[in-house]
């Protein structure tokens, strides 16, 4: 794939390379980079980005579906039973084991 730097330079009008143009025309990855850079440029200039719709919420939802469910740790014994002697607990813990 054409280097992203070369695609960026073309987009900025700094360089024009037939090799990079050919790569963008034939490579889906290079074309995606080209489109992404155009979107970034439009947003940075304050131009309408409505032509390129991103479903961020949908992508996040799909990513969350692959994540394992969070299971909070539950104590199997009250704090008082965990300590070997009640006097080992600091006084500020008293409300939790009373």
Condensed to tens digits (0 to 9), the pLDDT of residues 79-98 reads 555 555 555 667 776 676 65
59-62: long-range contacts (C-beta < 8 A, 24 or more apart)? none
> What is this structure's pTM?
0.45
| Residue 26 within any structural domain of the chain | yes
The CATH code of the domain that includes 50 is 1.10.10.880
Contact 79, 60 (CB under 8 A): no
Q: How far apart are CA 1 and CA 28, in angstroms?
A: 9
How many domains is the chain partitioned into structurally?
1
20-53 confidence digits (pLDDT tens): 888 888 988 988 888 888 888 888 888 765 555 6
Domain coverage including residue 51: 4-65
Buried b (16+ CB within 10 A) or exposed e, 56-85: eeeeeeeeeeeeeeeeeeeeeeeeeeeeee
């Amino acid at each position: 794939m054409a280097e992203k730097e070369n695609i960026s330079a073309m987009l900025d009008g700094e360089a024009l390379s037939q090799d990079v143009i050919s790569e963008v025309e034939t490579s889906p990855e290079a074309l995606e980079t080209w489109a992404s850079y155009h979107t970034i440029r439009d947003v940075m200039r304050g131009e309408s980005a409505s032509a390129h719709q991103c479903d961020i919420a949908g992508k996040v939802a799909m990513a969350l579906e692959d994540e394992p469910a969070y299971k909070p740790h539950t104590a199997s014994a009250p704090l008082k039973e965990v300590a070997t002697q009640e006097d080992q607990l600091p006084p500020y813990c008293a409300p939790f084991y009373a």
